[in-house]
Amino acid sequence: MSSNIGFVSTRFSGTDGVSLESAKWAQILWDYQHVSHWYAGKLDREAGFSMLVPEAYFYDKTNVWINEHAFGTRRRSSALTAKILEMADYLKQTIYDFVDKFSIDIMVVENALCLPMHIPLGVALTHFIAETEFPTIAHHHDFYWERSRFSVSAVSDFLAMAFPPVLNSVQHVTINSFAQNDLAWRTGAASVLVPNVLDFEQPPEDMDTQRHTFRERIGIEPDDIMFLQPTRVVPRKGIEHSISLISQLKNPKCKLVVSHESGDEGLEYHQALIEMAEQAGVDLRFVHAHLDQVGPFDANGVPGTSLAEIYTAADLVTYPSLYEGFGNALLEAFYFRKPVLVNRYSIFVTDIEPKGFKVVTMDGYLTRAVLDQTRRVIQDDEYRRDMVDCNFEQAKAFFSYSVLRRKLRSLITNFTGLDDL
């Protein structure tokens, strides 16, 4: 029996982890005739299946004001309390409207009940679920206690109530074992661990022509060595390590390409990276990747660049993140059979590395051994081929769509009583 699934978040647009993973969930659900609908403050999903509520976007001016006054202080003004509750009441009604408009059977909340980028939306969702006992899967990518910028707040009561809420009709989903354990310890709530995945059952197409076209378009020569940093431009991605790596390799043919836009944490880091690259003599380029399913053109009608095209053009992927909820870009590198340098962030150490992947690793800083291994990856074709082939097969076993299919079957069956996925 098919169901109408309502995905809810602040944003379903672009190449961030929430947008990417929700699209994968929707694809698996659609394979079993479950129809997905979308609610968010910023959307690139099909209009006929979506409800755009601009006030639900974290960059809505009222929400920006709320965040400015909610964090970095411990005292809350009555005006802030009133504004949060007023906006939450409005958003709660839009959620009722969304559920009614599309006859939603099960709601999937993506990150809006764990990371307080939009406090009124989290409160609205919590009130709606409490009032209706609505079947809800709360898909948690990041928790507020994992981010230092939320550590001092005037809204601890709202955080305890709604980020996340512990309600009988909510099934919690976490994406790594640390988050699963933390959620249980802090709230007593059990969760299902669902790792991020890629469709490793369907290998990527041969895109050799696109590789040459892309490199030519951005001015990279055929014999240049393209290092790809496939992340947003935010401080926790550790892009300065990639600049330092290329600087220390002392090879003018090495070029660094960053594939995603600046994130939700300002532009200061972006400018700092430009200055750092100039001082280190590193050729640094920024290319805004587009999701394949969004279409080939950006908002201005200019042909876009797909993630697949960028990965195909790369010679080596750098992933020196200081922290990751999981690591989508790491799976993408494995999928496109690219060698990877990884900073051993905590989730990699606990949930990914033990699976037997072959990567160049660093522990927070670059060493001569890291530089030597990177040079070997670049120069030794057989060594590189063995590395990427091993990674593809291991990822297929542990992080493929078949894993997600099994997890979703259990989650949906818990609500419907029918094994229809």
Residues 404, 407, 410, 412: what is their CA dihedral angle, to the nearest 10 degrees?
-50
Cβ 55 vs Cβ 40: under 8 Å: no
pLDDT at 263: 57
Which domains are present in the chain?
Answer: 4-197+401-416 (3.40.50.2000), 208-398 (3.40.50.2000)
Task: Please tell me the total number of residues recorded for the chain in this structure.
Answer: 421
Peptide bond between residue 164 and the one before it cis (omega within 30 degrees of 0): yes
Task: Estimate to the nearest angstrom the gap between the alpha carbon of 207 and the chain centroid.
Answer: 25
Residue among 193, 162, 164, 189 nearest 177 (CA): 193
Six-digit token pair at 267? 């532009």
pLDDT tens digits in sequence order for the chain, 421 residues long: 689 999 999 999 977 889 989 999 999 999 888 999 999 999 999 999 999 999 999 999 999 999 999 999 999 999 999 999 999 999 999 999 999 999 999 999 999 999 999 999 999 999 999 999 999 999 999 999 998 899 999 999 999 999 999 999 999 999 999 999 999 999 999 999 999 999 999 988 877 778 888 899 899 999 999 999 998 898 989 999 999 999 999 999 999 999 877 655 568 899 999 999 999 999 999 987 765 443 333 333 334 567 888 999 999 999 999 988 888 899 999 999 999 999 999 999 999 999 999 999 999 999 999 999 999 999 999 999 999 999 999 999 999 999 999 999 999 999 988 766 6
Measured from the Cβ of residue 336, the count of other Cβ atoms closer than 10 Å reads: 23
pLDDT confidence of residue 421? 61
What single DSSP character describes residue 205? Answer: P
